[in-house]
Amino acid sequence: MIKLTSVHKEYPRSGPALRDVSLHVRKGELVFLTGHSGAGKSTILRLVQMADFPTAGEVRVSGFSSKTVRPRDIPQLRRKLGVVFQDFRLLRDRTAEDNVAFALEVTGAKRAGIAQRVNRLLGQVGLSHKAQAFPDELSGGERQRVAVARALANDPFVLLADEPTGNLDEWAARGVFDLFKEINAMGMTVLMATHDLDLVRAHPEYRVVELSQGEIVYDSASTLEGQRSRAE
Amino acid sequence: MMPYAFREALTAFRRTPLLTMLSVVAIGFSLFVVGLFGLTAYNIRRAIEKVEEKVEVVGYLTDDALPEQILVATQEIRGLPEVAAVRPVSKIEAMANARETMEEFRDVSTDLESNPFPASLEVSLKPGSRTPTAVARVAKHLKAYPFVEDVRYGRDWLDKIYLIRQILGGAASIIGGAFALVAAIVIATAVRIAVFARREEISIMRLVGATDGFIRKPFLLEGLITGFVGGILSAVLTYVAFRVLDSTMFRIEWIPGRWVLGVVAAGTAFGFLSSAAAVRRHLRAV
Ligand SMILES: Nc1ncnc2c1ncn2[C@@H]1O[C@H](COP(=O)(O)OP(=O)(O)O)[C@@H](O)[C@H]1O
Ligand SMILES: [Mg+2]
């Protein structure tokens, strides 16, 4: 699955972003990654995508290791990860369905199946009726659903979400998170960075990992004491 | 539905038509220079070939040359590797030829005593040996005989044509090279702008796991098409130049079809390689 072992990450001018982070996300889990702004949440998600690499320690994702991965393997890894962001990152000159189809086209999916698959994905996020709409014609919540549909297009084993509700009003946020819950209930692993504490508190059934200044200070799956003894 | 890369390449043309046109024109002009050189070189070559068929080295003999000496010399010269044939021309023949070709000699008497035309040996060369060096060697051989008074051949003329061809070739390389450099810069700029215009798309492609090869393909295809159209443009320009020259200045021949294909292929390859180099550099920055 996803395993970070004693990960340090330092950016050239801004000092350490992660210090000795060890985190194991198991198959089928839904994990909240919380912490103040600048705590290192996005950095962890970037390391998991291998868009960046640790200064020390190792990141393992589904058989790929940050220590041994070759640049030309990375596209293969990315196809196994679905990613959504706070700012949606949809292409404004394409309709909802074209945005979803894009992820399939550019990974060389067979043309024949694409339209059907896109239909099904939009259905899954409850947007079949907005397939022809451009992003500018959609609400924030709807845009994020399109982004989720795109993230799921290549059948990833995990959904990574970086503040997916950060730009949404509470209603829309709740709707999008309900979608995550559904997807998780069907067996998908979800790793979601968020600083929406109300959302986290409202769902005590899910694992919470809290970062502060680049360190894991709380993990509901293990005790704080457990964290400390492991570090020793 | 068109394949993705092709569709994207066409979109790029639509997004930046001016820049695309500029790329095409730059390639077209650089190859136009090459085409003009080809046209000139080809016609010079044809002219040389025609002249070369007539390349002869003529040794003029003194009036006291003995027939046996002339016979020996004829056989010796005939034995040289460059020589195709040696034809002895007597004083009488020489005068007859002159009277035939030149009006002013019509009235000259046939009196042998006052015949001003020397006897000669006309040496023609084998097809492969009609070069300035071969001609000079044969001339030297002829000159070595004491009864050979003077040797004539179109040496200066031949040298000049070769020189002109070389100068033209040099000039075409420099001008063509300069245009090619401009073309490469324009293409690199076009690629940079295209990459910039599509940086969001490219970052999403990376995000969902498109390979670098896939991301590059539309840019390479665009370069290929730009180069191909530029090559065609240069061929058309060259043809127009040919028609203009042919009808206003001198009759010349059109270059062989293979050369035209070569120019178009060169444009295509150039467009492709320029884009490949630029895309490599700029994609790294996205
Ligand atoms: N590309 C970068 N270059 C330099 N510093 C960075 C970069 N990305 C993040 N950082 C720094 O790393 C720390 C963690 O950032 P981030 O992971 O984005 O935090 P979060 O997502 O929890 O708000 C911050 O101090 C931030 O300034
Ligand atoms: Mg962040």
Report which listed range, A145-159, B70-84, B90-104, B125-139, is most confident.
A145-159
Q: Do A91 and B207 touch (CB under 8 A)?
A: no
| CA trace torsion B271, B276, B278, B279 (10° rounding) | 130
| CA atoms within a 13 Å half-sphere pointing along the CA-CB vector of A166 | 16
Q: Is the CB of A19 under 6 A from ligand 1?
A: no
Report which listed range, A43-57, B198-212, B269-283, is most confident.
A43-57
This model of the complex carries an ipTM of 0.85
Tell me, what's the pLDDT at A160? 97
Tell me the three state secondary structure of residue A168: coil
Whole-angstrom Cα Rg for chain A:
18
Q: Does B207 touch chain A (CB under 8 A)?
A: yes
Q: Which range of residues forms the domain containing residue A8? A: 2-80+159-231
Q: Are residues A139 and A178 in the same domain?
A: no
Q: Is the CB of A40 under 6 A from ligand 1?
A: yes
Q: Are residues A151 and A168 in the same domain?
A: no
- Kindly report the CA angle at A165 between A159 and A171, in degrees rounded to 5? 125
- Say if A46 falls within a structural domain: yes
- Say if A85 falls within a structural domain: no
Q: Which of A155, A173, A201 is the last residue of a domain?
A: A155
Q: Tell me what the mean pLDDT of segment A149-171 comes to.
A: 94
- Say if A135 falls within a structural domain: yes
Which among A76, A78, A108 has CB closest to B207?
A78
Q: Does B211 touch chain A (CB under 8 A)?
A: yes
- First-to-final CA distance of chain B: 28
Who wins on pLDDT, B79 or B161?
B79
CA distance A31 to chain B (A): 21
CA distance B213 to chain A (A): 10
- Note whether A10 and A16 are within 8 A (CB): yes
Q: Is the CB of A66 under 6 A from ligand 1?
A: no
Say how many C-beta atoms besides its own lie within 10 A of residue B84's C-beta.
14
Spatial distance between the Cα atoms of B228 and A219, rounded to a whole number of angstroms: 61
Spatial distance between the Cα atoms of B208 and A79, rounded to a whole number of angstroms: 6
* Side chain identity, residue B43: N
The two three-digit tokens of residue B22, written as one number: 């500029």
pLDDT band at A79 (very low <50, low <70, confident <90, very high): very high
Domains along the sequence of chain B with CATH: 2-50+162-285 (no CATH), 56-152 (3.30.70.3040)
For every residue of B133-200, DSSP letters joined together read: HHHHHHHHHHHTSTTEEEEE-SHHHHHHHHHHHHHHHHHHHHHHHHHHHHHHHHHHHHHHHHHHHTHH
Q: Which of A138, A155, A172 is the last residue of a domain?
A: A155
Q: Does B204 touch chain A (CB under 8 A)?
A: yes
Q: Are residues A119 and A18 in the same domain?
A: no
Say how many C-beta atoms besides its own lie within 10 A of residue A4's C-beta.
24
- Say if A10 falls within a structural domain: yes
Q: Is the CB of A41 under 6 A from ligand 1?
A: yes
Which range among A61-70, B124-133, B201-210 shows the weakest confidence by mean pLDDT?
Answer: B124-133
Q: Which of A112, A136, A155 is the last residue of a domain?
A: A155
For A50-80, b where at least 16 C-beta lie within 10 A, e where not — what string?
Answer: bebebeebbbbbbebebeebeeeebbebbbb
Q: Do A153 and B208 touch (CB under 8 A)?
A: yes
What is the number of domains present in chain A? 2
Q: Tell me what the mean pLDDT of segment A201-206 comes to.
A: 93
Nearest CA in chain B to A151: B208
| pLDDT tens digits, one per residue of A91-123 | 998 999 999 999 998 888 788 889 999 999 999
- Say if A47 falls within a structural domain: yes
Closest residue by Cα to atom 20, ligand 1, is: A38
Q: Are residues A14 and A69 in the same domain?
A: yes
Q: Do B208 and A150 touch (CB under 8 A)?
A: yes
**What average pLDDT is seen over chain B?**
82
Tell me, what's the pLDDT at A230? 47
Q: Are residues A181 and A225 in the same domain?
A: yes
Closest residue by Cα to atom 13, ligand 1, is: A17
The Cα diameter of chain B in Å comes to: 103
Q: Are residues A138 and A177 in the same domain?
A: no
- DSSP-derived pairing of the beta strands A30-35 and A189-193: parallel
Q: Tell me what the mean pLDDT of segment A28-51 comes to.
A: 95
- Note whether B121 and B58 are within 8 A (CB): yes
Report percent pLDDT > 70 for chain A: 96
Give just the sign of the alpha carbon dihedral A217, A219, A225, A231: negative
Say how many C-beta atoms besides its own lie within 10 A of residue A161's C-beta.
27
- Say if A86 falls within a structural domain: no
pLDDT band at A232 (very low <50, low <70, confident <90, very high): very low
Nearest CA in chain A to B4: A105
- Say if A87 falls within a structural domain: no
- B-chain residues within 8 Å CB-CB of A154? 208-209
pTM of the shown model: 0.71
Q: Are residues A226 and A167 in the same domain?
A: yes
Q: Are residues A22 and A42 in the same domain?
A: yes
Q: Are residues A73 and A15 in the same domain?
A: yes
Q: What is the CATH number of the domain that holds A16?
A: 3.40.50.300
The Cα-based distances of B129 to A134, B50, B281 in angstroms read 75, 14, 52
B272 pLDDT more than 50: yes
- B-chain residues within 8 Å CB-CB of A79? 208-209
Q: Are residues A146 and A194 in the same domain?
A: no
- How far apart are the CA of A25 and the centre of ligand 1, in A? 22
* Burial (CB count <10 Å: 0-12, 13-18, 19+), residue B183: buried
Which among B4, B200, B209 has CB closest to A91?
B200
Q: A16 has which bridge partners?
A: A10
Q: Are residues A151 and A115 in the same domain?
A: yes
